[in-house]
Amino acid sequence: MKTVLIVEDEKMIRQGIRAMIQRSGVPVEVIMECGNGEMALDILRSQKVDVMFTDIRMPKMTGLELVQRMQELDEKPLIVAVSGYADFSYAVEMLRMGAREYLLKPVEREKLWDILRKLEQEISESRESSRTNKRLGRQQLKYLMLNERITEEEIHTMQTEYESEFDLHAYQVCVLNPKDVETTQEQPYIYLHNIEGDDVYLVTEKNTPLLLKNELAREYAGVSLLHSGIRELRTAYREAVDARRRAFCVGRMPVYAKEPEKHVPADFAEQGKRLTGADMKLQRVQLIGTDKTEELVKAWNGLFHAVRNEWIMPSDFVSVMDDFFKEAQKTYRNVWTEEQENAKRLKAYYAYPALAVWQAEFMEWLLKLHEQINSRFDSNKNQQKIKQAIAYIQDHFDKDLNMAVVSNHISMNYSLFSYLFKEYTGSNFVNYLKGIRMEEAKRLLEETDLRIIDISAKIGYDNEKHFMKIFKASCGVSPSEYRKNVQNAEFSRGGGKKD
């Protein structure tokens, strides 16, 4: 059990009961004490208590009055009445009102231990039963959200069995991409994993801001309107799904249901229709494998720009992409390798947090397909360009260098350069540049007496601390330690004699 509350006006008796509980062998996380019923009621209103030992005769509020007042609470502890012989009739009354056990003063250690073990078993069985009911209840909630033709009888059964189990008096539904969240502890929400490719949270109105601030912070979630009862759950779910689709496309955290749609000028709306039309669909397929890489990238970026600005609706975006994958596989079936089967993952659009994340992976996949087709005709030319890029990096690694500078130098599209560079070198640009710089840093540490700050500047880092951090992550030791190790090794080879 987690929490035990001892309500007794005599301090020595409270401390004696506490000591007995601590020595009982029953694990209790928190033991609290208070001296009267009023204080106990305040505690019970503010937090959950598993077991309460309460005296009967106390100032301000008796144990009997406390048990009577407790009936208004949603969560009530298991009660053990503690009484003297003269108050035994009151203890019997408390048993009638729901107390599980009673102890006569002076409290006997063995009897208290027996009661604790009995209550611990009851609590464990109750929690396991509750977990089972909640698991079954979650399955029923999923069924309700996904079933368009649920019967009135089924709704009534769910209301009877589960509406009290889950707090659904005033709630909202939040939907986002699946996360594989571990929820081993009790949470102030209902979490349902991977419903139609989404994660779903059912959360009470008062806890929605807390959920969005904590678990769903920086998530592209969709949030429903406020609803009440199991009967409205499917409506709330569909609202949250629609909002989540919009959050994915526009890249906003979060999006609420029934937000006013963005006003799209007529000419932009017309452009959206053109981008989803048959001619543009065909053009985006046929540009693959040609020497018009820039035009291919521009065509796709135009589509994504239109989706982000809501010239194209989420459902139309999915339709366009489904058609593209189908047509591309048919058109390029001769080069549709196992690697292109990665498209299956890309078809799960909303498994990605936002369009920008999906777009980056899609463009990498697309340009790889484009290059595989195009390389049959132009592989030698591209290899020559990457060789030029590598020579440029080796000559200018000590400057402020990045991938945009190098790709511009050889007149190659940024995305295509990123893909081809990794294909040719086996490393991405950042790691390749870092490797060259680290090798030069080691050479300077071994062969010169230059200061660390000067070496940092010579290999292209204007921040000495940044250089030292990267060097240690790469080599396992700091620059100073590296130089010292080299010097010690040379000293050992020289027979212990320094020049």
pLDDT tens per residue, range 139-179: 778 888 888 888 888 888 777 776 666 778 899 999 999 88
CA distance 176 to 350: 8
User: Which of the four pLDDT bands, split at 50, 70 and 90, describes residue 117?
Assistant: very high
Percent of the chain at pLDDT exceeding 90: 55
User: Structure tokens of 100?
Assistant: 């599980």
pLDDT digit string, tens, across residues 456-476: 999 999 899 999 999 999 999
Helices (H), ranges, 23-106: 37-46, 63-70, 88-96
| Cβ neighbours for 235, distance < 8 A, ≥ 6 positions apart | 227
Q: What is the pLDDT of residue 499?
A: 46
Question: When comparing pLDDT for 186 and 384, which is higher?
Answer: 384
Please state at what angle helix 293-308 crosses helix 414-425, rounded to 10 degrees.
Answer: 120
Predicted confidence (pLDDT) at residue 490 exceeds the cutoff of 80: no
Evaluated on CA atoms 399, 402, 403, 404, the torsion sign reads negative
Average pLDDT, the chain: 87
Assign 497 a pLDDT band (cuts: 50, 70, 90): very low
Q: Please say if the pLDDT value at position 24 is more than 70.
A: yes
pTM above 0.75, yes or no: no
- CA dist 467 and 442 (Å) reads 12
Give me the residue label for tokens 């290899």: 383
Position 495 pLDDT exceeds 60? no
Q: What distance, in Å, lies between the first and last C-alpha atoms of the chain?
A: 73
Work out the average pLDDT over 361-380: 79
Which residues, 6+ apart, have CB-to-CB distance to 336 below 8 Å? Answer: 329
